[in-house]
Amino acid sequence: MHNAGRAQFRPCETQLLTVRSLLKKLPPAIAALLLQVAAVMLMLLTVKVMGPHESPLLFALLCGLLAATFSFFAGLAKWWLAIQLLFAPALVLMLSAKLPPSLFLGAFLILLLVYWSTFRTQVPLYLSSNKVWRALEHLLPAAKLIQISPSLIWVLAWVEC
């Protein structure tokens, strides 16, 4: 029996929809990481079959192109496509700069400290304005306000005994 009102899916489209729905259940950063890993694995398989590329940057560009394509079909936000496309080439270029690893670790830890709640909650940090500062100063006159980034305020308050 043929149902004219229902869309008919081919097996490949059904599998794509299944993968997409599985990725939608994950935080976008984890989905992007999995897609990046899938792109690298596919490129490594290609290298094994066809032989190595002469340039690590070409390999990274192809990985980025694959990851961006996977991200598009997975339904990630458009800004993830640029990140996926440029991540592997940026990694290769930074490794070729021969900077000390402690620099990258320090930068990662600072970014993790500032943006961890954004990863957990998927709520972006909003820029604090002068209005926010004045309201906090009015509400907490004995507090000291420290702004560690343009979008995050830490309030330190102490009680005088």
Q: What is the predicted pLDDT for the residue at 65?
A: 96
pLDDT: which is higher, 110 or 17: 110
pLDDT: which is higher, 9 or 57: 57
Mean predicted confidence (pLDDT) in 20-26: 81
CB-based contact 35:59 (threshold 8 Å): no
Give residue for tokens 């792109």.
39
- Ranges of each domain in the chain: 11-98
pLDDT at 17 over 60: yes
Q: Which residues, other chains included, contact 67 with Cβ-Cβ below 8 Å and sequence gap of 6+?
A: 32, 35, 36, 38, 39, 84, 85, 87, 88
Q: What is the predicted pLDDT for the residue at 52?
A: 83
Long-range contacts of 2-8 (CB under 8 A, 24+ apart): none
For 47-98, the pLDDT digits (tens) are 999 888 789 999 999 999 999 999 999 988 899 999 999 999 999 999 899 8
pLDDT at 18 over 50: yes
Average pLDDT, the chain: 77
Q: Which residues, other chains included, contact 117 with Cβ-Cβ below 8 Å and sequence gap of 6+?
A: 123, 125
pTM: 0.62
pLDDT band at 11 (very low <50, low <70, confident <90, very high): low
pLDDT band at 120 (very low <50, low <70, confident <90, very high): low
pLDDT: which is higher, 51 or 125: 51
Give residue for tokens 């000291």.
144
For 100-112, the pLDDT digits (tens) are 989 999 999 998 8
